Structure 1
Amino acid sequence: MFQDPQEIYSQYIENKIDRSTLISQLTSIIHNATIDRQRIESLRCLEILRSDDGEFFKLLENLIISEQSHKVKLYAIEKIGTLFKEKAFKPLKWCYYHEPSFTCIIFAILAIGKINSNDSKRFLIYELYKNKDFLIPIKKLKTFRSTKLSELLVNLSFCRYFRKRILNSKIDIKEGYIKGLDLSSVYNSFYQPNIHNLLPGCLIYLKKLECLNLSFNNLRRIPNIIISIESLKSLILNENLLTFLPSSMIKLSSLENLSLKKNKFLELSNSIGNVNSLISLDLSNNYLESLPNSLGQLTELCRLILHGNKFKEIPEVIKALTCLEELDLSLNSIKNLPEWFIELKSLKRINLGDNKNLKIESNLSLLTQIRKLSLYSTGMVELPQNIANLEKLEEINLHNNRLDSLPRSFRNLLNLKKLNLNWNNFSSLPEWISSIKSLQELNIRGNKLRNIPESIENLPNLRRIDLKYNKIYSKSKKVEDLAKRGISVFI
């Protein structure tokens, strides 16, 4: 049992022991204690006493070469580079070549970058240039500061680390920096397939990492180290076993895209409101029945995907999302649209498909800024006349319903480019469909058509028409004429 290093130092301050005794006792703790905290605290006390002393340099050097404790070695690497820049290069270089701990290697590289001597700079340039995957010319490397060279070598070292340990890893590198890291579906020959074992604590030194994919990894919690990567803009955690978001998510101050598709969320914790930089949030295929009020704090959110959950009504907190442009509520149990829905003035794309008993309210037509509307598999028998109020509509998906006609007002959708009527009950198309001059794609497979209306030929922008699974003769003259115009005909 060793005395606390701070108590020993206090005795020295109070002149109860002399300098020699203090150094002797602290050194004894460093060499013999088993508790890392005590050993590091002793090193801190020695640093105050003899930071410019040759003996302290030798102590740190020996710890770098022979120390077993990971934490103590990291402390020694950091301090020798800070306190002894003129002498630190040799032990740090040894550490780079011989140290088995990847985190220690990263610390050594960063410490070498701070030395900024001719030797250290030559070393960094050599280690970068000798790698075949590193594409920055040596002339350009020579213009970089040592700190930038060390950052580049850190990124290169991470590339080696992940490619060696994770066989299917995908790494996106731009100008020497790792920008994207795909570690989905981890399998490797060194560990069990557990991503927690493979994410080093020094991951935070990937200062320009923007996109991280950890999908398909059976994660039950978000690794703590991920929360510390402040540069992250996109975090993809699809197909895991997550049930909650930690309050520490607030640290991800640059995060714009969060994808939590196919996890085990029964509810969404209030901490989601802390990530107020979010632009896109995907919560599809979970077990959510409601959303927390804190979601309304995401004032920059433009895209919200809630497909395949347990919603029986549209959560009212959504009306606070004034920047929302895309909302996907498909495959839920929603029956009607609330009155406040028309307040979503920024909404441009909405998917209400696969809500089996959805009643299409007249207030939908008041969302005149809508450009893409999906109402597939809702069981609808007819469209309301006021659908034509959606003047900016470019795409509408009505497949797998019970429609046999379109309202005449439909002809006023003058910006419509894509119309999907697959798997309905149409036996004919109205002649006035030629009024929709903007139409580029018409899908009407799986209906009861016997012929193609003459008016189809008057659609100047038509590029694709799908007529499969109807009763139209595939070699008819109209089909041939459409094909001659360069239109892709599927029949």
Structure 2
Amino acid sequence: MGIDFGVEEIMNLCSATDQGNDVVFVGIWGMGGVGKTTLAQAFYDKISDQFRDKCFLKNVREISRRDGIVALTKDLLYNVLKRMDVYDSEIRHRFRRKKVLIILDDVDKLEQLQALAGSNNWFGRGSRIIITTRDKQLLIAHHVDRCYKVKELKSDDGLKLFSWKAFQNDQPPKDFIELSHNFVNYSKGLPLAIEVLGSFLCGQSLQEWESAFSRIQENLHKDIMSALRISFDGLHEKEKQIFLDIACFFKGQDRDEVTILLEAFGFDPIIGISALIRKSLITIVGSKLWMHDLLQEMGWELVRGECHNELGNRSRLWQPADVLDLLKNHKGSDAVQGIVLSLPQEQKKELKREALSNMKKLRFLKISNVVLPLGLDYLSTELRALEWHGYPSKLLPRAFPSEKLVHLNLCGSHIKHLWKGFKCLDKLKSIDLKDSASLIETPDFTGVPNLERLTLEGCTKLSKVHPSISNLRRLRLLNMKNCKSLRITSWDISLESLEIFNLSGCARLKRFPEIVGENLFRWECYRGITSCSNLIEIPENIGNVECLEELDISRTAIRQMPSSIVYLKNLKELSWSRCSGQVSTSLLFPCLPEVCAGPNFLLPASLSPFSSLVSLNLSYCNLIDGALPNYMDRMSSLMQLNLGGNNFTSIPESISRLSKLVSLYLRGCILLQSLRELPLSIKLVSAFGCMSLKSDSDQYEVYCSKYENQVLIHKRTTSTRFCLLITNSQFAAWLNRYHEVNEVEISLPVRTAYGLSHRTHGNIPYWFNNRSSNFSITIPLSEDLTNKSRLWMGCAFYVDLEVNENFDSSPYFKVRHKFDCCFDTMEGPGDTQTLYHEPG
């Protein structure tokens, strides 16, 4: 249906270079709905397996308008690098040596291109940057000279697409051939219109087809919106309302969150959303609701058409200028059902107290950065969802609607008391007061029996929780993270439906509340108490949480576990990092025999309850010699062990029998003197800052196995030697792909790698056969290296360099040297790895 031809054309544009190693920008342009995104997706699917680093960045125009260019940049970096700890200014540096495939879909402004793909030298050799846009002039302005115009579908291709949508076949039945041609011709070869019409007519009778075509014949001189409108007209009334709500308010938002709101409005979102998807009016991208721009514009036009001259007689308002006009000039009426006004902080506006008084049928209000100097007189009793970010008053209006309210979001508000005394809100399911820094107590929840979600995160002055919270038997989420003034000395509650309970960062909390409820048996995660620095105990009944898989009590004052922890047979991750205070005997499992008595952190002799544990973090717990038992091999499933920042001089011999251990972290163990034999499964040993670690006869102590991937041991010295280890899988793949090369060139200084350091006196180890004192070296490859049937362990590079220690010695400054190492071949750039050296 024309896609294959288009893909081949783009392939030709991409490969029309001297050697195929140049960075190539290609623009795909054409009118809205013609299939630019579909073509770009087909091209991406065909060649993406040739690129390790790739990204299809969809809806650039929409995301840029809604979230800004910085958000787009972060999305691109994350999707390519799978990392969030990077900055927007680093795109040109991060991708400079990478062969990337990037699709920038629906670009409409030059500044977007300048931020995301400034020029060819931002990317490594062989990179392909594909841009889709409606505006060819945009491509010209960005010096993209390889362009492909997506043309309308030919009649035969259009008929095939239409038939697949209407009949799930590439040809229509005999009785429908003529009408099918009529609909395709009316669509003018535009794929979007063809898909929407075909989906609408699917399953309908011949008479219904004839009726539909008669209706669109009345609009032969109108644009493509008429073809799209016929599908909208065929929806049930509530499906139409859902479509218009998505077009005006919810495009690009999470499907589950929108479903909750639509349900609050009295719709059936499960059936309605499925119907819109089936009729090609919306799509799901990841977990987000999306619709084509033309379909959104049609929805907007339908709402504007309700009353062209009077804003107050339209059902939905979403454009800031229109909303401000409506509210400032009191133009509202009973026709208004929904309003969205999202203003940036620097454009904050003042409104009068009667601004919302005339809108008696308002069911959805989402507003931000609006000031009410004299308060607010009235809110509609039909209101089902209220989202007012930065709500400026200390109290809700006296006539606050309660009968039908389902969702209340006042993030960042100035509320001190949500309400006082008893208030009946029996339909309310969600309260979100996140970052309401003035809130000092929670309200009486007696009249809110159906509450399912309560978010109080960041309410830093909150000190009192009303005891009626114990009666919220339908509560699924309770988030009180970083409520730093919360002081609960006795809090035993019954929360039968609780799934997520977060008290992390409640620095004054000393006792975790006893939780009783059937749903505890199904909990998989219990990590909501990290950074409760004064918390000294957790409930004795934690052992009842039989399905618990993750337990994180880092940065607390807990000194020992309740005995019931032995019943956690499914525990996979345990983190007890940076516990404050002096730990007494047997921190874990006090009911089991201890290894020895002493003032520091201890583990029991029997570790059989830990047989399911995959990850154990005991870093910075003041562990000394003898605190770790010589029976750790009983943790038979352990893959990751973090013992960093402790005070032992050696690790137990039993660690060598942890047959599944992959990663061992010992960073900051300044007293550690020796590493005994490690298990064959080990791939990574991190020992940064182990300043007492000894080496025999100034030789490397490299702990790796025949399965080694990366091994990292570091010792701080002024004169630092780096040895780069290339992983088995990387090196094997490299050789298999480039087996025809017969030499490797290495250029220095390198830009980061995994490395090892040891104490030598300027001598390169004898087993490095190829040496150079220059900034580069060329290594001839033996014939064996080109034999694809051989399995190669890897290769190692050794770098001896002096580091100029000319830096501020103030303890407030931390100096770190960063090195990147990139392996390039004639076929293009390879992977870049990074090594950080912290002078000691």
Query: What TM-score comes out, normalization by structure 2 length?
Result: 0.34
2:319 maps to a residue whose letter is N
Measured in 2, the distance between the counterparts of 1:347 and 1:179 equals 39
Q: Which residue of 2 aligns with 1:349?
A: 573
Q: Which residue of 1 aligns with 2:692?
A: 448
Please identify which structure carries the higher strand content: 2
- Preserved contact between residue 350 and residue 374 of structure 1 (Cα < 8 Å): yes
**Alignment of 1:264 onto 2:510:** no
Q: Deviations over 1:152-197 (max 9, x none)?
A: 878995223x34249xxxxxxxxxx9999695xx5x7x55xx4x45
Residue 374 of structure 1: how far off its partner (Å): 1.9
Q: Which residue of 1 aligns with 2:623?
A: 380
Q: Which residue of 2 aligns with 1:243?
A: 464
Q: Secondary structure at the match of 1:305?
A: coil
Residue 397 of structure 1: how far off its partner (Å): 2.3
Q: Which residue of 2 aligns with 1:426?
A: 672
Q: Secondary structure at the match of 1:350?
A: strand
Q: Which residue of 1 aligns with 2:721?
A: 475
Residue 460 of structure 1: how far off its partner (Å): 3.3
- Preserved contact between residue 614 and residue 638 of structure 2 (Cα < 8 Å): yes
Measured in 2, the distance between the counterparts of 1:330 and 1:214 equals 23
Q: Which residue of 1 aligns with 2:540?
A: 316
Q: Secondary structure at the match of 2:641?
A: strand
1:253 maps to a residue whose letter is R
Measured in 1, the distance between the counterparts of 2:692 and 2:708 equals 25
| Identity across matched positions, percent | 15
Residue 335 of structure 1: how far off its partner (Å): 3.8
Residue 200 of structure 1: how far off its partner (Å): 9.0
**Alignment of 1:411 onto 2:656:** yes
Measured in 2, the distance between the counterparts of 1:347 and 1:227 equals 38
**Alignment of 1:461 onto 2:713:** no
Q: Which residue of 1 aligns with 2:434?
A: 214
1:266–1:211: structure 2 CA closer, same or farther, 3 Å change rule? closer
2:689 maps to a residue whose letter is R
Measured in 2, the distance between the counterparts of 1:199 and 1:349 equals 49
- Preserved contact between residue 244 and residue 269 of structure 1 (Cα < 8 Å): no
- Preserved contact between residue 291 and residue 315 of structure 1 (Cα < 8 Å): yes
Q: Which residue of 2 aligns with 1:489?
A: 835
Residue 320 of structure 1: how far off its partner (Å): 2.5
Q: Secondary structure at the match of 2:366?
A: helix
Measured in 2, the distance between the counterparts of 1:218 and 1:466 equals 49
1:318 maps to a residue whose letter is I
1:198–1:352: structure 2 CA closer, same or farther, 3 Å change rule? farther
Aligned residue runs from structure 1 range 61-460, under 5 A:
122=306, 126-128=314-316, 131=319, 150=337, 158-160=365-367, 162-165=368-371, 183=389, 191=393, 194=394, 196-197=395-396, 201-202=400-401, 205-207=405-407, 212-215=432-435, 217-223=437-443, 228=448, 230=450, 232-233=452-453, 235-238=455-458, 239-248=460-469, 250-251=471-472, 253-261=474-482, 262-270=484-492, 272-274=493-495, 276-295=497-516, 299=520, 300-301=522-523, 302-307=525-530, 308-353=532-577, 354-355=579-580, 356-357=582-583, 358-382=601-625, 383-424=628-669, 425-430=671-676, 432-433=677-678, 435-437=680-682, 439-440=683-684, 442-449=686-693, 453-456=701-704, 460=708
My pick for the range that moved more, 363-372 or 378-387, is: 363-372
Measured in 2, the distance between the counterparts of 1:260 and 1:199 equals 30
Residue 352 of structure 1: how far off its partner (Å): 2.4
1:269 maps to a residue whose letter is W
Residue 213 of structure 1: how far off its partner (Å): 4.8
- Preserved contact between residue 448 and residue 470 of structure 1 (Cα < 8 Å): no
- Preserved contact between residue 643 and residue 666 of structure 2 (Cα < 8 Å): yes
Q: Secondary structure at the match of 2:574?
A: strand
- Preserved contact between residue 218 and residue 240 of structure 1 (Cα < 8 Å): yes
- Preserved contact between residue 420 and residue 442 of structure 1 (Cα < 8 Å): yes
1:346 maps to a residue whose letter is N
2:488 maps to a residue whose letter is L
Residue 217 of structure 1: how far off its partner (Å): 0.9
Q: Secondary structure at the match of 1:488?
A: strand
2:652 maps to a residue whose letter is P
Measured in 2, the distance between the counterparts of 1:455 and 1:374 equals 21
Residue 342 of structure 1: how far off its partner (Å): 0.9
- Preserved contact between residue 574 and residue 615 of structure 2 (Cα < 8 Å): yes
Q: Secondary structure at the match of 2:797?
A: helix
Q: Secondary structure at the match of 2:632?
A: helix
Q: Which residue of 1 aligns with 2:127?
A: none
Q: Secondary structure at the match of 2:692?
A: coil
- Preserved contact between residue 434 and residue 457 of structure 2 (Cα < 8 Å): yes
Q: Secondary structure at the match of 1:373?
A: strand
1:241 maps to a residue whose letter is L
- Preserved contact between residue 617 and residue 642 of structure 2 (Cα < 8 Å): yes
2:486 maps to a residue whose letter is K
Q: Which residue of 2 aligns with 1:174?
A: none
Measured in 2, the distance between the counterparts of 1:156 and 1:473 equals 69
Q: Secondary structure at the match of 2:678?
A: helix
Q: Secondary structure at the match of 2:566?
A: helix
Q: Secondary structure at the match of 1:396?
A: strand
- Preserved contact between residue 374 and residue 398 of structure 1 (Cα < 8 Å): yes
- Preserved contact between residue 201 and residue 225 of structure 1 (Cα < 8 Å): no
- Preserved contact between residue 338 and residue 364 of structure 2 (Cα < 8 Å): no
Corresponding pairs, count: 341
1:385–1:309: structure 2 CA closer, same or farther, 3 Å change rule? same
- Preserved contact between residue 352 and residue 376 of structure 1 (Cα < 8 Å): yes
Residue 337 of structure 1: how far off its partner (Å): 4.0
Measured in 1, the distance between the counterparts of 2:339 and 2:317 equals 11
Measured in 2, the distance between the counterparts of 1:434 and 1:225 equals 56
2:439 maps to a residue whose letter is L
Measured in 2, the distance between the counterparts of 1:279 and 1:269 equals 17
Q: Deviations over 1:111-130 (max 9, x none)?
A: 9xxxxxx9999469944266
Measured in 2, the distance between the counterparts of 1:227 and 1:260 equals 25
2:648 maps to a residue whose letter is L
Residue 225 of structure 1: how far off its partner (Å): 8.3
Residue 368 of structure 1: how far off its partner (Å): 1.4
Measured in 2, the distance between the counterparts of 1:420 and 1:248 equals 42
Structure 2 gap segments, 5+ residues each: 1-264, 267-301, 323-333, 341-360, 373-382, 410-429, 584-600, 725-754, 756-795, 799-820, 824-831
Q: Secondary structure at the match of 1:366?
A: helix
My pick for the range that moved more, 481-490 or 347-356, is: 481-490
2:455 maps to a residue whose letter is L
Measured in 1, the distance between the counterparts of 2:685 and 2:571 equals 23
Measured in 2, the distance between the counterparts of 1:461 and 1:231 equals 50
Query: What TM-score comes out, normalization by structure 1 length?
Result: 0.55
- Preserved contact between residue 377 and residue 401 of structure 1 (Cα < 8 Å): yes
1:181–1:473: structure 2 CA closer, same or farther, 3 Å change rule? farther
Please identify which structure carries the higher helix content: 1
- Preserved contact between residue 434 and residue 458 of structure 1 (Cα < 8 Å): no
- Preserved contact between residue 296 and residue 317 of structure 1 (Cα < 8 Å): no
- Preserved contact between residue 629 and residue 652 of structure 2 (Cα < 8 Å): yes
Q: Secondary structure at the match of 1:481?
A: strand
Measured in 1, the distance between the counterparts of 2:319 and 2:634 equals 61
2:316 maps to a residue whose letter is L
